[in-house]
Amino acid sequence: MKSVVKGMKSMVQSIDFSKPIYNGVNISIRKPEVITDGITNPTTNNDNGIYNAVNIDVDSPKVGSQSQKIYDYPEADGIVTYEMLNLNQIPVNVEDKALPEQEAEIVEEEVVEVPAPNYTTVEAEKAETAEKKTPDVTTALSFRANEANVKRPEIVPPEPIMPKVDVALVFENLSSTNKDVQAQQIEEIVRTAILNPENAKNYLISDIFTGLINITKEDATKLAGPTKEQMEARQKLIANIIAVEKDKKAVNNLPYKMSDEEIAVATNLSPMELVERNKEYAITALGALTELFIEDFEAKEGRIVPITDAPGVSAIVNALRKDPDSGIKLAAIDALRHIQRPEYKEELSAIFTLVQTDSNPNVSRAATKALAELNNK
């Protein structure tokens, strides 16, 4: 406590009573003066007294009706309120949060509205983003109410896109040594040509025609045919099928009791039969694709392609004339019937007339029927 008092005494200045004493304001108490006409007391007082505020001599006080202005401050027309200040001049700390909005007060002379603070902080940007995301219920309702008046864009249904054909894969399957793979690929081509001709146009490619033609040229005469065991099993199987076709109740009393092994032997094809089967399939596929080619050529070119220029026709005719297998010849006659038109009447008539003399009665009968249909058109 004593140290504090000593410190305070050291801070207090000593007073010289020989000089004028001022009390807060510089008004000389000992020699007060009153100015009524602007003339002051000639007695001057050195301004070396002690005071702490404005310089008014307490010893010689002066009261004047006309005060002399030391500083010329601008005068306001009315009372300046806090609300009349420009808040935009208030510096904003980047780390501070957004300033709260000030409510505008009405002043008697005029109404001053406080402008919205100019946010530059990250928090202000987030608040602005959140405000934009907040849906306006009135706007949403008015938009829905005007939906009936909005012109909707016309939706055009897309055109069907035909699936592309993997030509390399198709040609690989047609060239496979596995005859079952060949047969499955040919069946797919024929099925597509019958059920969806527009998509089957994807098969109208020279490589696919080449693969099918190569199958028709394969020689099966040197391959092994069915064995004696296979022939006997097939005869039994055929007899059972005929019995069921005549009477369905015969399924419980078949002429021959065959085990699963015997049925497998009967249905299994020999190498020669596999080649002949695929040749029949290939000729059927060539007839279907050649018909599509002729129709597509006419639609695009506006004319009929000559029969000698139609792909696959020469392979079909060669199989009909030279192949010894009657099943292949029957398939060839059926393929030529699919492409018959008035423009091809002369060529097809010559071919069918020639085949009428075939040694196989089934082949000659089919050729005669095809020729009669051609003449009637």
* pLDDT at position 283: 97
* pLDDT at position 166: 87
Cβ atoms < 10 Å from Cβ of 287:
23
Cα distance between residue 172 and residue 203, in whole Å? 14
The mean per-residue pLDDT over the stretch 271-285 comes to 96
Q: Is the pLDDT of residue 354 over 90?
A: yes
- The tokens of 49 are what? 């007294």
Cα distance between residue 229 and residue 131, in whole Å? 90
* pLDDT at position 91: 52
The mean per-residue pLDDT over the stretch 338-357 comes to 93
* pLDDT at position 227: 95
Q: Is the pLDDT of residue 206 over 60?
A: yes
Kindly state the DSSP code that residue 356 receives in the 8-state scheme.
Answer: T
88 — pLDDT class (breaks 50, 70, 90): low
Q: Hey, what domains does the chain have and what are their CATH numbers?
A: 167-226+269-376 (1.25.10.10)
Per residue in 55-76, pLDDT (tens digit) is 555 555 555 545 455 545 555 5
Instruction: Decide which of 169 and 102 is more confident.
Output: 169
* pLDDT at position 59: 54
Q: Is the pLDDT of residue 51 over 50?
A: no
Angle at 79 between CA 73 and CA 85, to 5 degrees: 85
Contact 26, 55 (CB under 8 A): yes
* pLDDT at position 248: 86
Q: Is the pLDDT of residue 92 over 90?
A: no
Cα distance between residue 105 and residue 206, in whole Å? 91
21 — pLDDT class (breaks 50, 70, 90): low
* pLDDT at position 375: 87
Task: Give Cβ neighbours of residue 119 (< 8 Å, ≥ 6 apart).
Answer: 92, 98, 125, 127, 128
Provide the H-helix boundaries in 1-83.
2-11
Closest-CA residue to 58 (of 20, 15, 19, 17):
20
| Cα 168 → chain centroid | 30
User: 8-12, 155-159, 167-171, 241-245 — which is least confidently predicted?
Assistant: 8-12
Per residue in 230-241, pLDDT (tens digit) is 999 999 999 999
Task: Give Cβ neighbours of residue 313 (< 8 Å, ≥ 6 apart).
Answer: 290, 307, 336, 339
Residue 143's φ and ψ, nearest 5 degrees, are -65, -45
